Chains A and B, each alone.
Chain A
Amino acid sequence: MISRSAAELALSAALETGGDFAEVFVEDTRRNRLQLMDERLDSVTSDRSHGAGVRVFSGASAYYATTNDTSPEGLVRAAKQAAAALLGAKKLAVKPLDVVVSPAPFPVKQRPGDVAGSRKSAILHAASKAARAEGAAIQQVIASLSDVETDVLIANTEGVFASDRRTYTRLGVQAVATGGGGNQTGFQGPGRHMGYEMFEALIDPEAAARTAARTALTMLAAPLCPAGVMPVAIESGFGGVIFHEACGHSLEATSVSLGNSEFCGKLGQRIASPVVTAVDDGTLQGEWGSIKIDDEGTPANRLVLIEDGILKNYMIDKLGGRRMGMPVTGSSRRQSYAFAPTSRMRNTFIAPGDSEDSEIIATMGDGLYAAKMGGGSVNPATGEFNFAVSEGYWVKDGKIDHPVRGATLIGRGGEVLRKIDRVGKHLKLAQGMCGSISGSVPVNVGQPLIRVTGMTVGGR
């Protein structure tokens, strides 16, 4: 996208005022989005975003400037803006850009740009029809298809010249059931780091739509969830959002490097129940949260975060690594050139354990079975998290009794990790968009069915 010499010029300008590291990130992204509503395609948009960000470090301080102008002059201008706040003199020369990091991208058989609009439209119509066929109470279906092809180039003063192409395809189906004076919704959002071949072997749009519709219909008939402290069983797949919020964010250098995580200084210590092993893996073929290289040009890896309850690793970016005196973990990410990168999750999940799903429910007494989760959030400084249950069931004496709606789970990360007493055998991943200071990035969450001995359940 830019030549080595253009990158070198910008890096050199970035070091002009005494910075001790500089990096150029260039991005070109093509994005298409189609949305169907009322059984008709009602919005079709295509966008090309294009720009660059130049980052300079001086010790543990970071300076960042962005521009849409990726010409050699535009990059130098951005580099000078980033460097302007440093008032020193040049002390470092740019190394030749000979550390080439350009792994083959994840394979894409049907590039989004080559797929006919009529085929995309047909996928949405099929999903909408399938959802509506689940019941007359399904009064609205909003189905959307998003695809993204993004080329990135990263060059830095350590000599790295890295590039990658990332292709993402995702379906979203929101079904709305109406009846009894109220509305309830169900959502499914399967996606992959690949092209439209995703719909041939891996994702059935109609099945996803039916699942969304069934959640909405089930919740329409559900009474409100009782509130209180109780055992909670959380289903596989998107249930993994509990680990993502309760623990994952607090293991990112973003908070750890500034002393703002409850897990600071706890490497090698027990932070979770012995049944918990948790992994952040950027290498899974074609998965939504996978990356070949991170946004600092470091190849992705598989990182064990917690092993049998013991904290093994944090997720670390270059700046965090400087503050912590530790190496990077290939998990520095950003939404786009408009954001400076920081440590982020990729595919983050609780690894399979050895409990039987049936036993997990049968021995829990009275409590909540969270079959589908919504999103959540956390404050890493205090560990306080919350997330919503989008499809819940009341468990009475070890038996799933009836659906309940409107439940929220809250707690503190450190406490909930110690209260996980069962981990099932069947790992499933699910897709989400994760927001943090470097923007919104695709991540997988995941886990088998797990059980927490006691959590505060918000309801009415």
Chain B
Amino acid sequence: MTMRLDDFLDLLFRKAREAGLTEFEAYASSGDSFEASVHAGELIAYNVSSAAGLGFRAKVNGRMGYASTQALDEDAADMLVKGAVTSATLTETDDPQFIFEGAETPKLELYNPALDVIPDAEKVQMALDLEKKALAVDKRISTDGCAVFYSAGGRRIVNSKGMDAAFRDNAIGAYVSAVARDGARAGSAYRIAMGRSGAPDFDKLAREASREALDFLTAEPVPSGSYPVVLRASAALELLAAFADAFSADEAQRGLSPLKGREGEVVAAGCVTLLDDPLNPTGLAASPFDGEGVPARHKAVIDGGKLTALLHNLKTAAKQGVSSTGNAARGYSSAISVAPTNFYFQPSEEPLSKLLARAEGGLLITELQGMHSGADAVSGDFSLSAKGYRIENGAVGRSVDQITVAGNFYELLKQVLAVACDLEFGQPGRSCFGSPSILVEKLSIAGK
């Protein structure tokens, strides 16, 4: 039998005290989600999910133990207490551990009630309309993914030091992947948008995905060589996501980040400013507090090319004698780590066209693939499958595919010549990455 969360917490904390625990904490997350997928004018998948999980941690002899569950019953309460004690007993690290007493957190509006009341049938219709718009662009277009989705979630931290903090958020989004076919050739492109102010611009998503898919029908590799490259916002943010761990003090303290100990040094070109801003409600990783309950705050990680700070939680901050930046990350079933929130390169006021004009004979990269294998955050090396366009006469020219783009992220940061004004955010996970388009002096391209 599943219990109400408050009743379960009472039971759990009573059992924790009975077991002699004095410092402990529960982290509860819950989420409802909806997704409607369509194909060829038909609804093909309709998913409604509701899930909740609870993580428990406790400090035993200075060490932190963890256990978690999705079942909220008496057995689960026993298992959590026993599991956390076992975990703490096995753990060998002498790193300082914290249960935070809580502090006043900023007020953020992250839940839009207007999204909550859109009927599911209307969201199905939105997905059907989105596909119709994509197909209407050209008769050679089909889709291999077209969906509208909605999610609403809540998080709550309650602990033995009196903290009881909670917030909830929601967002709606849409996705369309267009495939253009002509004989044996196929070209594909996708667009995704997600936000909490209202439904995305379906016309724009459909038009851009279909037109770009058509462009790739005639794409060809370019000769291998070194090219000036404009990374379109959608590609630049993927690259940032792949290397974001390098900005974690946790990774640095473990010797896994080349940025270790380099606070105060110039690590990027002067036009590069990198922000972590959990207070920006348009970013979908916004939250009033982090995974330890520490209040969220805006900070620059790179300011005008200079590394100003790494991201910290309470443990990494204590080890380095600094304050937490409010970047403790956790899911209900994971131990505390460090992660960015809304993490993005600050845009300039220059339009993308200005960047293209400065990259004559170069490439505009629109899509990068292979991030989870072809990008190594420890070394900074990347070698990724890419698509895009030639830059001809200062503008977007012939399409290009079957190439790889290779370089080193830490070298690339220094070779940024300009950033554009077109800031875009990607799909949120535990973090939400963003970037405007970026002009890079030179990258290695393998093609024909």
Contacts and interface: CB of A to CB of B under 8 A. Distances in A.
A456 B447 contact: yes
B441 to A, nearest CB: 14
Interface stretch (B39-47, B100-108, B348-356, B431-439): B39-47
Interface in B370-393: 370, 372-374, 376, 378-381, 383-385
B67 A66 contact: no
Nearest to A390: B373
Given A66-B51, A184-B378, A382 B91 contact: no
Leading 4 A-B pairs by shortest Cβ distance: A458-B404, A227-B446, A386-B385, A375-B373
Interface in B156-204: 177, 179, 186-188
A34 B91 CA distance: 9
Contact of A410 (B47, B95, B402): B402
A386 B46 contact: no
A62 interface: yes
Give the most central of B1, B47, B69, B403: most A CB within 10 Å.
B47
Contacts of A178: 255
Interface string A258-284: 111010000000000000000000000
Contact of B92 (A40, A61, A69): A40
A139 B381 contact: no
B244 interface: no
A66 B32 CA distance: 10
B71 A458 contact: no
Interface in B257-280: 258
Contact of A46 (B40, B67, B373, B407): B67
A386 B403 CA distance: 10
A459 B406 contact: yes
Given A66-B51, A376-B370, 19 more contacts: A44-B66, A44-B88, A60-B44, A63-B47, A68-B70, A118-B90, A182-B258, A183-B379, A224-B406, A255-B144, A258-B40, A340-B47, A376-B373, A388-B383, A410-B402, A411-B402, A456-B447, A458-B404, A460-B383
Interface stretch (A97-105, A198-206, A400-408): A400-408
Contacts of B230: none
A408 B374 contact: yes
B220 interface: no
Contact of A65 (B47, B53, B79, B376): B47
A423 interface: no
Contacts of A121: 90, 92
Interface string A32-71: 0010011011111111111100000000111111111101
Interface string B22-39: 000000000000000001
Contacts of A377: 369-370, 372-373
B45 A45 contact: no
B48 A65 contact: yes
A50 B72 CA distance: 10
A118 B335 CA distance: 20
B16 to A, nearest CB: 16
Contact of B44 (A43, A48, A61, A142): A61
B318 to A, nearest CB: 15
A406 B70 contact: no
Contacts of A387: 370, 373-374
Contact of B65 (A44, A64, A184, A258): A44
B333 A388 contact: no
Contact of B48 (A66, A255, A459): A66
B400 interface: no
A43 B374 contact: no
> Which of B94, B120, B374 has the most CB atoms of chain A within a 10 A radius of its CB?
B374
A372 B351 CA distance: 43
Nearest to A82: B48
Given A85-B124, A227-B224, A51 B444 contact: no
Contact of A406 (B1, B83, B383): B383
Interface string A101-126: 00000000000000001100100000
A381 interface: yes
Given A386-B374, A405-B381, A227 B258 contact: no
Interface of B: 1-2, 39-40, 42-53, 65-72, 76, 79, 83, 86-95, 120-121, 124, 142, 144, 177, 179, 186-188, 221, 224, 254-256, 258, 333-335, 369-370, 372-374, 376, 378-381, 383-385, 401-407, 444-448
Interface string A395-439: 000000000011110111000000000000000000000000000
Given A38-B93, A459-B446, A260 B179 contact: yes
Interface centre among A37, A140, A184, A379 (most CB of B within 10 A): A379
A43 B372 CA distance: 23
Nearest to A323: B44
B186 A382 contact: yes
Judged by DSSP, the binding face of A is strand
A228 interface: yes
Given A227-B224, A406-B383, A69 B2 contact: yes
Contacts of B79: 46, 48
Given A60-B42, A68-B2, A458-B384, A45 B66 contact: yes
Contacts of B124: 85
A145 to B, nearest CB: 11
A458 B369 CA distance: 12
Nearest to B447: A456
A400 to B, nearest CB: 21
Given A65-B47, A456-B402, A185 B444 contact: no
A260 B144 contact: yes
A42 B88 CA distance: 10
Contact of A185 (B120, B177, B179, B376): B376
Nearest to B43: A61
Nearest to A435: B372
Given A44-B90, A61-B44, A65-B49, A459 B383 contact: yes
21 contacts: A41-B93, A43-B91, A64-B47, A64-B49, A65-B50, A68-B51, A71-B1, A85-B121, A227-B445, A258-B44, A340-B45, A377-B372, A381-B144, A388-B373, A408-B404, A410-B385, A456-B221, A456-B403, A457-B446, A459-B444, A459-B446
Contact of A63 (B46, B68, B256, B378): B46
